[in-house]
Amino acid sequence: MTNLDMLNLTMSNGLNGTVTAERWWPEAEKWLLVALLGLEATVGVTANSLVLLVKVMSRGRLCCRYWLPFLSLTLSDFGCSALIISGSFLAMLTGGQRSPWCEVVSLLKFAFISSSIGSIAILCLQQLIGVASTGSPVFLVLATGCLASWLSGVVFGIVPVVYAWIRYDPAEMLCAVFWENSYSDMSLYILCAFSICVFLPFLLITSCCLFRASGCGCGPTSREEEADLSAVTPLLVASYILCYTPFVVSELILLGRMDLSPAPDWLRTLSSVMSYLDCSLNPLIYCSHEDFRQAGLALLWTRRKLLPSDPVLTAITPLDM
C-alpha cells in the first residue's frame, strides 16, 4: 500500500473524544479540490449576496409573488457557501476540522440541506395554489412549513452531535456522521431523516409538478407567470436533483451495507462537490430571468448624482428700459 492510499488516523483526546482522519491526498488532486472549493465558496458568497441585495432593494421593479421561499433558499445557499464550503476549503489546507467547529459544521449541513429542498417544495406549492407571499392565513401555513424545514434539519443535525457520531471525513472534506456500533441505530436515523427532510418535500415537489403539467391549480396565467421570478422554478428543481443525487446515492449505499462501511471515497467526494455546486448554480438560474437581470443591472449601474457645476446660460429674458 502506497502513501497515497494510506489513512493516517489521529486520536484527539478533546472534550468529546472526536476522532479525526487525515487522508494523504495526491498533490495534484488536493490542489485541484482546493481550487474548486475556493471557487465555489467565492462564487456562492458573492453571487448570493448580490441576489439578496437585488431581492431586497428591487422589490418594486422585480415581480416576485413568492418571495418567502426564494428568500429562504438564498439564505440557505449563502450560509452553506460562507460556512460549509469555506470550512471544507480550510479543512483541505489544514488537514481536518477540530471540535467544536466539527460538530457545528455537521449540524449546519443538515439544516442547509433540509431548508433548501423545503424552500423549493413550498415554492412549488405556492405556484400551484396561487397564494402570494402576503398576510393571508394560507400564507401563514406555508411560512410555518418553510420554518419547519429549517427546524427539522437542525433537529436531525443535533442527534449525531449528542450521541458523538461525528468525526472528520477526509473524503467528504468536512465532519460527517460515522457509524461503528449499531446497524439498527444507523438505519433508523437515516430512514427518519430521509423520510422527513428529503422524501416528503420531494414527494410534494413531484406532486405539484404533475398537477401543474395536467393543467390543475389556481396559479397565475402563463403570461403573468413568465413575468414573475417563479418562472425559474423548474430549473431550480432540476439543479437540486442533479446536484444532490450523488449524496442520496452514497447514503443509500451506506444503508444497504450491514457492516456499516461507507460509500466509496470518490462518491463521497463527488457528493460534497456537487452539493456545493448547487449553491453557486442557483444565483445563475435567477439571472436567466430577464426581469431579475434588469433589476440587478439597474442597481449596479445607477447613475451617480451630478456634482455642482458652474452656472450655464439656458435662456435670455429681455428687460424693459
Residue whose C-alpha is closest to residue 11's, from 20, 24, 1: 20
Each residue of 17-47: pLDDT tens digit? 333 444 557 888 889 999 999 999 999 999 9
Q: What is d(CA 221, CA 236) in angstroms, rounded to the nearest whole number?
A: 20
Helices (DSSP H) in 83-163: which residue ranges? 86-94, 101-129, 137-162
Count other Cβ atoms within 10 Å, centred on residue 162: 9
Each residue of 204-229: pLDDT tens digit? 999 988 888 887 766 555 555 667 78
Residues 61, 227, 217, 237: what is their CA dihedral angle, to the nearest 10 degrees? -90
| Residues 208/124, Cβ–Cβ less than 8 Å | yes
Among residues of the chain, what percentage have pLDDT more than 70? 80
Q: How far is CA 80 from the centre of its chain?
A: 6
Does the pLDDT value for residue 144 go beyond 80?
yes
Each residue of 261-284: pLDDT tens digit? 888 899 999 999 999 999 999 999
Among residues of the chain, what percentage have pLDDT more than 90? 38
If phi > 0 it is left, if psi is from -120 to 50 it is alpha, else beta; for residue 74 that is alpha
What mean pLDDT do residues 231-244 have?
Answer: 92
DSSP string for 254-270: HHT-TT-----HHHHHH
| Residues 63/228, Cβ–Cβ less than 8 Å | yes
320 forms beta bridges with: none
Does the pLDDT value for residue 293 go beyond 90?
no
Does the pLDDT value for residue 309 go beyond 80?
no
The whole-number pLDDT of residue 54 equals 86
| Residues 219/130, Cβ–Cβ less than 8 Å | yes
Buried b (16+ CB within 10 A) or exposed e, 176-187: bbbbeeeeeebb
Buried b (16+ CB within 10 A) or exposed e, 258-282: eeeebbeeebbbbbbbebbbbbbbb
Q: What is d(CA 101, CA 87) in angstroms, rounded to the nearest whole number?
A: 9
Q: Is 9 helix (H, G, I), strand (E, B) or coil?
A: strand
Q: How far apart are the first and last CA of the chain?
A: 108
| Residues 208/120, Cβ–Cβ less than 8 Å | no
What mean pLDDT do residues 174-200 have?
Answer: 86
Among 57-71, 104-118, 139-153, where is mean pLDDT lowest? 57-71
Domains of the chain: 27-297 (1.20.1070.10)
Task: Using a cut of 0.85, tell me whether the model's pTM lies above it.
Answer: no
Q: What is d(CA 80, CA 103) in angstroms, rounded to the nearest whole number?
A: 15
Task: Return the H-helix or E-strand segment holding 175.
Answer: strand 174-177
Q: Which of 1-5, 52-56, 201-205, 295-299 is predicted most confidently?
A: 201-205
Does the pLDDT value for residue 134 go beyond 90?
no
Positive or negative, the CA dihedral 126, 132, 135, 136 is negative
pLDDT band at 80 (very low <50, low <70, confident <90, very high): very high
Positive or negative, the CA dihedral 47, 52, 53, 54 is positive
Among 61-75, 82-96, 100-114, 261-275, where is mean pLDDT lowest? 61-75
The whole-number pLDDT of residue 308 equals 47
| Residues 278/236, Cβ–Cβ less than 8 Å | no
| Residues 127/209, Cβ–Cβ less than 8 Å | no
Q: What is d(CA 174, CA 109) in angstroms, rounded to the nearest whole number?
A: 10
Mean pLDDT of the chain: 81
| Residues 147/97, Cβ–Cβ less than 8 Å | no
The whole-number pLDDT of residue 219 equals 56
The whole-number pLDDT of residue 305 equals 42
